[in-house]
Amino acid sequence: KTLPLGQRHKIATMDVEQLHIVLQQSFSPDVNLRGPAEETIRNLKHIKAATVLLLQVAAEKQVQFEVRQAASIQLKNICRECWAERMNFAGYPLSDGEGKKPPLLDDEDKGRIRPGLVAALLEEPEKSLRDLLAETLHTIVIHDFPQNWPDLIPALLQTIQHGAADPSQGLRVHNALLALRKVCKRYEYKSKEQRGPLNEIVAQSFPLLLPLAQRLSNPDEHSLE
């Protein structure tokens, strides 16, 4: 199945099936399919809700692994480039070789990406995909946490708390800890005065992490990775 010729180069809107086809075609040995698909992928940042669709494909476990990985990579790259205006060391906005600034994602798409990304990350068993999703979360945290993402830490801590007593939730707990590490990394090189949110995270999380660490020290405990 291929996209109609007239839709391959300039696409203003897209649905998840079309995106899946484009990602598949980007692996095609046929340059007549691969070339237009790669061009469409390069322009995804200009398509409304493309990041939301990329996340859907990345999170769908019935989709071919390589396609999910490609979707995860594109999601990470677009969020890094287009989540917020990027500045150079001189304080001027970054632009491409033609002097154009990258488009910025709108608030509606951001509002769908944040909770969807956490949900996808918590359920992801594949390490390479999990790491890509975690890097995307870190990018968003740099710009949005805590002001625009106040429910992130409560969601992660709730997952850890519920999973600490339920061995079947080991994957979700592991991935929540990974996400929590990415949030803390936000403050890794900050001054003491800028670490207020980190101090709050430590105060909230340590009472939950202590019993978890005690479980992991048990030689008979194999439920967590």
What is the structure's pLDDT at 8? 40
157-168 exposure pattern, b = at least 16 Cβ within 10 A, e = fewer: bebbbebbeeee
What is the distance between the alpha carbons of residues 54 and 71, in angstroms, rounded to a whole number? 5
CB 152 within 8 A of CB 141: yes
Render each residue's pLDDT in the chain as its tens digit; 225 residues: 444 434 444 456 899 999 999 999 999 999 999 999 999 999 999 999 999 999 999 999 999 999 999 999 999 999 999 999 987 776 777 776 666 788 999 999 999 999 999 999 999 999 999 999 999 999 999 999 999 999 999 999 999 999 888 889 999 999 999 999 999 999 988 888 888 899 999 999 999 988 888 777 776 655 554
Residue 101 — φ and ψ, nearest 5°?
-85, 145
- State both tokens at 21: 């086809």
What is the structure's pLDDT at 187? 92
What is the distance between the alpha carbons of residues 71 and 223, in angstroms, rounded to a whole number? 30
The DSSP symbol for 30 reads: -
C-alpha distances (whole Å) from 62 to each of 20, 47, 65, 68, 216 are 12, 25, 9, 9, 32
